[in-house]
Amino acid sequence: RLRYESQTSAIEDETEPEIYHNMPVVVLVGRPNVGKSTLFNSIIDSGQKKAIVTSISGTTRDRSYGTATWLGRQFTVIDTGGLLGLNVRHQDPDVIVNHIRDQTFVALQEADVVIFMLDVHEGITTHDIEIARFLRTRIQGREEKKVVLVVNKADNVILKSEETLKQFDRLGLGSPLPLSAVHSDGVADILDRVIEDMEVRLPEGNELVLGNKGDSEEGKKVSEVQPDSIRIAIVGQPNVGKSSTMNQIIRQNRSIVSEISGTTHDPVDHFMEHEGRKITLIDTAGIRKRTIREKGIEQLITMKALATIERCHVAILLIDPVNGVSTQDQMIATHIIQHSKSVIVAVNKWDLLREVPSSREEYMKHIRAQLRFLEYVPVVFVSAKTGYHMKDILDLAVKVFDERGFKFSTKKLNDTLRRAAINHNPTVTRGKALKIKFATQVRSFPPTFSLFVNDASLVQGHYRRYLEGAIRERHEYLGTPINLVFRRND
Ligand code: GDP
Ligand code: GDP
């Protein structure tokens, strides 16, 4: 397989980070102005250079690349930008194909999955037909790469209806997925599909497939992939008490092994042991202190905080008891879950409210309502000032981390899902009923399940959540997101 390292000439940016190596590659192609950059910006992990979005057709710009994470898998995304079809007025197919060959071919060579994007308002143009032919023959046919057909700017019900989308079937690349990139509507379905296709090409953690190992493995830690040290990030809004929590934990923990100071812009990591377990405390708070005088600091804090989440296994989300859960907290929580990180919610400064007898219960209700997607997440009430319940934070962090390694037995998983499907039939879509044939936990850290179904496009959001709930009824996976990947199996 070709990888970035053998193709460095394809990348104009010399500061290509280490992490791009050996990652699956997803390439976005399509005519200029269909919305590739908009999608690119919404899927790349935070803290990276964004692509320029412009309504000027054919604007010349460099290819953008970044990393994205979905269902616990990280991959590189390349936006071929304005490279493809700079000669938009030129209708000669040979010229177009040459152009693809020259400019985008290098990117396509690297690709594991190609997202081919069209504009619902424009329908199918000559260009699109040429690109489709090229993708069918060269990319799908010869290289056996997967192509995901996406129709963008499907901003409303009519535009994304089957009726409207039908016309795109004649490209011979399967049924398209509708997208409204500006509203991020449809992104999840596209990324699900990308991961599904990626798994077929590059099954990851195959050695962990439970079927071969028998069911006696239930609950056993999967040591093959268990990280050496538990990486914990303390996140939350400015002033919520991140530095204080950090200091309190360090003060209470006598077994600090070492501190490694980073460069001016890097966080400082603290290594310690807690009840025999190695822990790395990632410093988030220091970032703010060091950069407080810089311009645009609010945005920088957020970006750095989000980047910190991407480095951790367990995030401790601190909430202010006076202001309650804010929209920023919700955004941080979403980011944690999207990146399949485990999470604990800690309501800090509890010393300020402890006297009020009913407040804890009310608080619980408020938090559960505001962070609704976090019902499996433990909530603790702490005070970084007095040290109240501070030890609980580390105990819980270790506990939820271990949940990331919990292995579900294949038999129990299939029993659970079979029963769930009997109790609540999947709704029939387009005259077709979803059938789950077999399921297995393919990975741990984070827990990832493959569900083999007759047609993955029949899985609806509410049914996915229902199945997730059914799994959690058998094993809670405390504080830990679990990933359900639906794969076609005819
Ligand atoms: P690219 O050239 O393919 O990278 O396209 P851009 O991402 O630069 O988008 C081109 C234009 O289309 C911009 O003005 C976007 O705001 C607009 N656009 C992108 N996605 C959507 C969408 O989902 N709906 C609508 N209505 N406009 C969009
Ligand atoms: P950060 O910006 O999130 O790192 O927050 P800091 O740790 O700097 O704390 C902000 C302010 O809240 C400081 O004045 C702290 O003394 C105060 N603070 C932090 N934790 C607590 C707590 O548990 N109780 C009380 N009463 N004040 C706290």
* Residue nearest atom 25 in ligand 2 by C-alpha distance: 349
The conformational region for residue 75 under phi > 0 = left, psi -120 to 50 = alpha, else beta, is: beta
Tell me, using a 6 A CB cutoff, whether residue 321 lines ligand 2.
no
What is the arithmetic mean of pLDDT over 464-489?
92
Strand order in the sheet with 448-453: 436-443, 448-453, 483-488
**Which ligand 1 atom sits closest to the C-alpha of 57?**
2
Closest among 232, 254, 234 to 245, alpha carbons compared? 234
Burial of 282 from C-beta contacts in 10 A (0-12 / 13-18 / 19+): buried
Q: Are 487 and 201 in contact (CB under 8 A)?
A: no
Q: Are 259 and 270 in contact (CB under 8 A)?
A: yes
Q: Show the DSSP H helices in 324-460 as ranges.
A: 327-338, 359-370, 390-403, 410-423
Quick one: pLDDT at residue 264?
37
* Residue nearest atom 24 in ligand 1 by C-alpha distance: 153
3 state SS of 9? helix
Quick one: pLDDT at residue 457?
82
Q: Where are the beta strands (DSSP E) in 184-296?
A: 230-235, 258-260, 269-274, 277-282
What is the arithmetic mean of pLDDT over 108-129?
88
User: What residues contact residue 62 under an 8 Å CB cut-off, 6+ apart?
Assistant: 12, 13, 81
What is the arithmetic mean of pLDDT over 305-317?
84
* Residue nearest atom 18 in ligand 2 by C-alpha distance: 241
Spatial distance between the Cα atoms of 225 and 355, rounded to a whole number of angstroms: 45
- Whether 15 shows a pLDDT value over 50: the answer reads no
DSSP state of 6: G
Spatial distance between the Cα atoms of 6 and 56, rounded to a whole number of angstroms: 34
CA angle 37/488/490 to nearest 5° reads 145
As beta bridge partners, residue 273 has 278
Segment 36-77, tens digit of pLDDT: 989 998 898 876 666 656 554 444 345 677 888 888 788 888
178 upstream amide cis, omega within 30 of 0:
no
* Residue nearest atom 27 in ligand 1 by C-alpha distance: 153
ipTM of the complex: 0.58
What is the arithmetic mean of pLDDT over 119-130?
89
Q: How far is the CA of 45 from the centre of ligand 1 (A)?
A: 20
Q: How far is the CA of 186 from the centre of ligand 2 (A)?
A: 40
- Whether 272 shows a pLDDT value over 80: the answer reads yes
Tell me, using a 6 A CB cutoff, whether residue 352 lines ligand 2.
yes
Closest among 170, 224, 179, 167 to 43, alpha carbons compared? 179
Segment 328-380, tens digit of pLDDT: 888 888 888 888 899 999 999 999 886 666 678 888 888 888 887 678 999 99
What is the arithmetic mean of pLDDT over 204-231?
45
Q: Which ligand is nearest to the CA of 383?
A: 2
Find the range with the poorest average confidence among 39-48, 121-130, 152-161, 279-288.
279-288
Band the pLDDT of 421: cuts 50, 70, 90: very high
- Whether 142 shows a pLDDT value over 50: the answer reads yes
Torsion of CA 450, 451, 453, 456, to 10 degrees: -70
Q: Are 115 and 29 in contact (CB under 8 A)?
A: yes
3 state SS of 69? strand
- Whether 297 shows a pLDDT value over 60: the answer reads no
Quick one: pLDDT at residue 342?
95
Average pLDDT, the chain: 76
Q: Which ligand is nearest to the CA of 389?
A: 2
Q: How far is the CA of 262 from the centre of ligand 2 (A)?
A: 24
Helix (H) or strand (E) run with residue 206 in it: none
Comparing 104 with 389, the larger pLDDT belongs to 389
Segment 255-269, tens digit of pLDDT: 554 444 443 334 467
Q: How far is the CA of 244 from the centre of ligand 2 (A)?
A: 6
Q: How far is the CA of 382 from the centre of ligand 2 (A)?
A: 12
* Residue nearest atom 26 in ligand 1 by C-alpha distance: 153
* Residue nearest atom 19 in ligand 1 by C-alpha distance: 35
Helix (H) or strand (E) run with residue 439 in it: strand 436-443
Closest among 226, 236, 394, 257 to 308, alpha carbons compared? 236
Q: How far is the CA of 8 from the centre of ligand 2 (A)?
A: 47
Ligand 1 probe mutation, 38, 79, 121, 190, most atoms within 8 A of CB: 38
Question: Taking the model in full, what pTM does it have?
Answer: 0.58
Q: How many CB atoms lie within 10 A of CB 223?
A: 8
Q: Which residue has the tokens 């819980």?
A: 396
Tell me, using a 6 A CB cutoff, whether residue 54 lines ligand 1.
yes
**Phi–psi pair at 8, nearest 5 degrees:** -60, -25
Q: How far is the CA of 383 from the centre of ligand 2 (A)?
A: 9
